Structure 1
Amino acid sequence: MQHRGHESTDGGGSELTVPMAWLYAEYIADELLRTGDLMPPTSFEFRAGRDALALTIFLSDTEGELSGIRVVTQLETWLSLTAYDQPWHEWVRDRLAELTAEAAGSGLPDPDLELAEEAWRWLQETELLAPDLNAVPGGAPVAGEDEGPKVWTPAWQLGLPLGHLAIHLF
Structure 2
Amino acid sequence: MPPESTNGAGRRNGGGLAVPMAWLCAEYLADQYLTAAGLTEPGSLEHRAALRSLALTVHLSGRPASGDWLRLTAHEAGWAEWVAERLAAEEAKDPGGADLALARDAWRGLSETWLHAADLDDGTAGPEPLVDEAVRTWLPAWRLGLPVAHLALWLT
Same fold? TM cut 0.5: yes
TM-score (normalizing by structure 1): 0.77
Gaps of 5+ in 2: 1-7, 125-131
Larger RCO, structure (CA 8 Å, separation 6 or more)? 1
| Equivalences for residues 12-161 of structure 1 within 5 A | 12-61=13-62, 69=64, 74-104=65-95, 109-135=96-122, 147-161=133-147
How far the C-alpha of 1:6 sits from its partner, in A, is: 5.2
Distance 1:126 1:80, change over 3 A: same
Residue 140 of structure 1 is matched in structure 2 by: none
How many residues in Structure 1 have an aligned counterpart in Structure 2? 142
Partner Cα separation in structure 2 for residue 136 and residue 83 of structure 1: 16
Contact 1:8 1:14 in 2 (8 A): yes
How far the C-alpha of 1:15 sits from its partner, in A, is: 2.7
Contact 1:46 1:159 in 2 (8 A): yes
Gaps of 5+ in 1: 63-68, 138-145
Residue 129 of structure 2 is matched in structure 1 by: none
How far the C-alpha of 1:135 sits from its partner, in A, is: 4.2
Contact 1:75 1:167 in 2 (8 A): no
TM-score (normalizing by structure 2): 0.83
CA RMSD after TM alignment: 1.9
Partner Cα separation in structure 1 for residue 123 and residue 26 of structure 2: 38
How far the C-alpha of 1:129 sits from its partner, in A, is: 1.8
Contact 1:22 1:116 in 2 (8 A): yes
Partner Cα separation in structure 1 for residue 110 and residue 17 of structure 2: 27
Distance 1:135 1:164, change over 3 A: closer
Contact 1:6 1:19 in 2 (8 A): no
How far the C-alpha of 1:122 sits from its partner, in A, is: 0.3
* Rg (Cα) greater in structure: 1
Distance 1:21 1:6, change over 3 A: farther
Amino acid at match of 2:112: E
Partner Cα separation in structure 2 for residue 19 and residue 82 of structure 1: 24
Residue 7 of structure 1 is matched in structure 2 by: 10
Partner Cα separation in structure 1 for residue 123 and residue 73 of structure 2: 26
